[in-house]
Amino acid sequence: MAVTGEETGAGNSCDSTSSGLAQEGAGAGASARSSLKPPDTLLKRERRLMKNREAARECRRKKKEYVKCLENHVAMLENQNKTLIEELRALKDIYRHKAE
DNA sequence: ATTTCGTTACGTCATCAACC
DNA sequence: GGTTGATGACGTAACGAAAT
């Protein structure tokens, strides 16, 4: 079960400035995860778990998309950098020939 | 063929921020 | 203040590849 290769082609716009994805911290620590909590009724708890399950799925989907977007951006910048370096080399070459 | 190891997706919990 | 949605952290299962 599980390990279903999800990855439905969702939209792809890196903008996600709103996506959060920065928060961090909140370390928690998973200490006594025991059952001294405000007594969730069973139904209430199940509903909450189900909602959170779906939220987590969506959250991971968005994060994956965001990372992919960043990777694309990096690739693009690397290409651009390569092109510029090439261009600079060519210009230097021209300049050198003229100077001679 | 079996074991080991790294990766991936998942579920759950804890926490925060926003809303009512 | 309680509720809700988003997200980081953690543990776990399934899987594939490399090592034995």
Whether the pLDDT of residue A52 is over 50: the answer is yes
Strand C positions within 7 A of protein Cβ atoms: 4-11, 13-15
Q: How confident is the model at residue A26 (pLDDT cuts 50, 70, 90)?
A: very low
Q: What is the mean pLDDT of residues A23-30?
A: 31
Please check whether strand B approaches the CB of A52 to within 7 Å: yes
Residue with tokens 């778990």: A49
pLDDT at A14: 61
Whether the pLDDT of residue A50 is over 50: the answer is yes
Please check whether strand B approaches the CB of A30 to within 7 Å: yes
Whether the pLDDT of residue A37 is over 90: the answer is no
